[in-house]
Amino acid sequence: MPSREETDATNEPVENAEMADVDGEEEEEEGDWEAEIDPDKIQVLPGASEDGTAASFRILHEDHTLGNALRYMIMKNPSVEFCGYSIPHPSEAALNIRIQTYGEITAIEALEKGLDDLVGLCDTVESSYRTALEERDFATEEP
């Protein structure tokens, strides 16, 4: 019986694991890749204040996973008065986030700091996890 072709959220065909290495190239090891920066990933929405202390942003292809963590990291900044996020519609792959500051920094600077802090936190968690694995000599092979 032929296997059913899988599709992603846009109903585009997704390669099966059996088809993943069609051209003979080896897959890159985890951590050996450089993130590609998409200049359209984050958009400033209309309605930002003229002094830059309040703005709304749309982050494409993200959901509550990033939204809640990013909101938390931004709110830890004492220069930020308010930060909230919403998902416009469950079928829409976008996240809207609103940032208001006390005026010491701009909303864009607060967003950049929040993203940098979140990356730093993830790096710290990964490093601690890998160190714990090495110290306890856990098996790293899948069963």
pLDDT of amino acid 38 = 75
- Asked whether the whole model's pTM tops 0.85, one would answer no
Above 80 in pLDDT, residue 15? Answer: no
CA distances from 89 to 40, 41, 44, 96, 141 (A): 20, 18, 18, 10, 39
Mean pLDDT to the nearest integer, 98-109: 96
Residue 97: how many CB atoms within 10 A of its CB?
24
Which domains can be identified in the chain, with CATH numbers?
A: 38-122 (3.30.1360.10)
More confident residue, 108 or 29: 108
Q: Does the structure show a pLDDT above 50 at 140? A: yes
